[in-house]
Amino acid sequence: MKKWNMFKKRLLRPMMGLCFGLLISVCLCGNAQAEPLSVEKEDGEYAIDVTLKGGSGKATVVSPTVFIVKDGKAYAQLQWSSSNYDYMIVDGKKLLNENKNENGYSIFTIPVLAFDGEMPVIADTTAMGTPHEIAYTLTFYADSIESKGALPQEAAKRVLVVAAVIIVGGGILNYFVTKHRNRDYTPQKKRH
């Protein structure tokens, strides 16, 4: 009995006090969410390189991705390689898939909480029949921020515009060349 009282006095009570203190601090601070990073860029859309780690390695996110500055705060619009992600949890906040098209990829606008270091996130996938929350880390590279024109989507749009101009210009040119040929060519009448 003497050993038990000594154990309670020297180890158990201090441990319980420490655990209680930790529990209170988690309860008081657990709901506090980190703010997106402040950035010294004009509000607007940019491009930023991002890497994804975690999960089975099958899922990816488009990189560079859309980097949004709104009221001086940093956000990223992530496009996953799958349409099966229905929500993400970033810093305790649940964010829903913004793409309502069933055949499209999952898209989320998330706060950027860190540059050049791993930022933990959770993404929920329905690809395995039942939903599963999977832990990932994202790394956003501050020195890669550039104009939105660097995005693959923007480059594809420029290619489509150039292709359309070439096709329309070629069609117009073909029309005039054909008209000119037809004007110069007048069939001669056969003599009987």
Domains of the chain: 44-147 (2.60.40.1850)
Contacts with 95 (C-beta within 8 Å, 6 or more apart), sequence order: 87, 88, 89, 108, 109, 110
Look at residue 149 and give its three-state secondary structure.
Answer: helix
> pLDDT at position 57, please?
84
Write the CA distances from 65 to 35, 38, 139, integer angstroms.
20, 18, 12
Pairwise CA distance, residues 174 & 24, whole Å: 78
pTM of the model: 0.62
pLDDT attached to residue 33: 60
Residue-level pLDDT at 31: 44
Hey, which bits of the chain come out as E strands?
44-48, 50-54, 65-70, 73-79, 85-90, 93-96, 107-111, 119-125, 132-140, 146-147
* Residue 56 confidence (pLDDT): 82
Would you write out the chain's pLDDT as a tens digit for each of its 192 residues? 666 565 555 554 555 544 444 444 444 444 456 789 999 999 999 999 999 999 888 889 999 999 999 999 999 999 999 999 999 999 999 999 999 777 789 999 999 999 999 999 999 998 878 899 999 999 999 999 998 876 655 555 555 555 666 777 666 767 666 776 777 665 666 665
The reported pLDDT for the residue numbered 119 is: 97
